[in-house]
């Protein structure tokens, strides 16, 4: 083996050691948490329509008629058409108990309609009007913030600031300085929980509830800083 080959062998042999040393670079690893408060300015709910009878075609005809009535009411009361979505449609047999046992008496046709309204003061009128036009029950209701994504971005910025502050405090106590960022990752997020969830039937009294309060959007990050001694 000549001198050049020996030199090359030494260099390549040293590379794993250098890589290992880089991998073992001392770091300060912290978790940062940030939050941002939002006030709901809209709401979303799911209406459920049901028809029961012996003939599927008649059930569908009646449901289409009720659907047109509900849709017209929603549009006339300020709900944008793009905020009304027809969701799942189900058709199931229904049975009744007889002296001979359970017998099928027909079918139950159900349909879900999801509605979002940006006028938060409009919800009681929308619910009352829909229940009187063929809606059988409300499967879900929640207040929402239309700027929720922007709120999360602001919470994320606050989480990064919190991580930098924590790293700085640790570094100061250890007598070192924080260097460049080695790694950063999000460790989950928390969007506002719904103010309420409820289920109502057409027999329920007119819906009323306190207006929603402030909600908090949270974000978390994990950050590793190099240590500059």
DSSP 90-151: EEEEEEEEETTEEEEEEEEEEEEEEEEES-GGGHHHHHHHHHTTT--EEEEEEEE-TTHHHH
pTM above 0.85, yes or no: no
Range of weakest confidence among 12-21, 99-108, 130-139, 204-213: 12-21
Cα Rg of the chain (Å, integer): 30
| Residue of higher predicted confidence among 189 and 108 | 108
pLDDT of residue 195: 39
Cα distances from 28 to residues 57, 168, 210, 219, in angstroms, run: 68, 9, 47, 20
pLDDT in tens, 91-136: 999 888 888 888 898 999 999 999 999 998 889 999 999 999 999 9
Chain Cα centroid distance, residue 98: 46
CATH code, 25-40+147-229: 3.30.110.170
pLDDT of residue 18: 42
Burial class (CB in 10 A: 0-12, 13-18, 19+), 206: exposed
pLDDT in tens, 23-75: 568 899 999 999 998 888 899 999 999 999 999 999 999 999 999 999 999 99
In this structure, which topology does domain 42-144 adopt according to CATH?
Answer: Alpha-Beta Plaits (3.30.70)
| Residue of higher predicted confidence among 189 and 54 | 54
pLDDT of residue 198: 40
pLDDT of residue 97: 86
Q: What is the Cα–Cα distance from 65 to 72, expressed in whole angstroms?
A: 11
Domain definitions of the chain by residue range: 25-40+147-229, 42-144
| Residue of higher predicted confidence among 62 and 8 | 62
pLDDT of residue 156: 94
């Amino acid at each position: 083996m000549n001198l050049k080959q020996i030199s090359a062998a030494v260099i390549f042999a040293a590379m794993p050691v250098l890589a290992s040393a880089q991998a073992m670079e001392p770091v300060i690893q912290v978790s940062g948490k940030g939050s941002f408060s939002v006030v709901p300015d809209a709401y979303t709910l799911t209406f459920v329509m049901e028809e029961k009878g012996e003939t599927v075609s008649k059930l569908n005809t009646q449901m289409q008629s009720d659907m047109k009535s509900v849709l017209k009411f929603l549009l006339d009361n300020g709900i944008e058409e793009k905020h009304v979505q027809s969701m799942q449609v189900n058709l199931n047999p229904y049975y009744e108990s007889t002296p001979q046992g359970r017998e099928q008496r027909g079918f139950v046709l159900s349909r879900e309609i999801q509605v979002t309204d940006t006028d938060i003061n409009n919800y009681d009128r929308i619910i009352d009007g829909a229940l009187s036009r063929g809606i059988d029950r409300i499967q879900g209701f929640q207040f929402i913030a239309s700027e929720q994504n922007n709120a999360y971005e602001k919470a994320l910025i606050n989480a990064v600031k919190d991580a930098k502050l924590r790293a700085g405090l640790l570094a100061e106590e250890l007598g070192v300085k924080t260097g460049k960022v080695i790694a950063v990752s999000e460790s989950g997020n928390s969007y506002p929980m719904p103010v309420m969830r409820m289920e109502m039937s057409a027999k329920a009294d007119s819906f009323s509830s306190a207006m929603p309060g402030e909600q908090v959007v949270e974000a978390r990050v994990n950050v590793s800083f190099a240590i500059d001694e």
